[in-house]
Amino acid sequence: MERYNTNTKVANFGDYCNNFEKEKEELKKVRRSIKPNTPDTQKYPKNSKLKFNNITRKMDDLTPDIIDDTLKSMEEETNESKIKSFNESSTDLEVLNKLKQLPAYGKLKEDFRKSIHEFTNEVDSSAVDTGYDKGDSDHDMAFHEAIQEAINELVGW
């Protein structure tokens, strides 16, 4: 007896992403198929077209403005992903180890330790004014974020 394959509609993550080019072409086809309203013959309140969405398995009511906005956002996402993939890199551990062996690194680390200790003491003494609670994880995250932002501002990131 042959079994019926029930997994034919299982979606892969790749079905939801990486199909930008195919989806762009489909949207462009729908955009071209929408005929603009003419003042003498058509008086439609909205000029739209129905398109079947394979992911949601429903019909989408698309207007030219919605299509243009979707295409624009897809283009921006594509550009951002290209920038991210171009700038994405990993840390060179050999260089990191050499930097950590410099005498200036030890001084930097000691200066950070002193500054963070001083900042911690001031935060603890003014806890009533700032509302900082040492045991609260959200407040601890805000404390760490303040230190990281100070470093980022100094370095220029």
Question: Which residue has 């739209």 as its token pair?
Answer: 48
Tell me: do 14 and 72 sit in the same domain.
Answer: yes
pLDDT at 153 over 50: yes
Question: Which residue has 């180890």 as its token pair?
Answer: 97
Domain with 120 in it = 93-155
Count of domains forming the chain: 2
Contacts 24+ apart (CB under 8 A), 35-42: none
Does residue 77 form part of some domain? yes
- From 52, 72, 87, give the residue that closes a domain: 87
Average pLDDT, the chain: 78
For the residues 153-157, what does the mean pLDDT come to? Answer: 77
Q: Quick: pLDDT tens for 98-122.
A: 988 999 999 999 998 999 899 888 8
Tokens in use for 3? 């079994």
Pairing between β-strand 58-62 and β-strand 49-53 as defined by DSSP bridges: antiparallel
Q: Which of 65-74, 80-89, 99-108, 146-155 has the lowest mean pLDDT?
A: 80-89
- From 33, 58, 87, give the residue that closes a domain: 87
Determine contact, residues 79/110, Cβ cutoff 8 Å: no
- From 87, 109, 124, give the residue that closes a domain: 87
Q: pTM score, two decimals?
A: 0.40
Q: Quick: pLDDT tens for 29-66.
A: 888 888 777 766 666 667 788 888 877 888 888 888 88
Query: How many angstroms from the chain centroid is the CA of residue 4?
Result: 40
Return the number of other C-beta atoms located less than 10 Å from residue 119's C-beta: 14
Query: How many angstroms from the chain centroid is the CA of residue 122?
Result: 35
For the residues 123-151, what does the mean pLDDT come to? Answer: 82
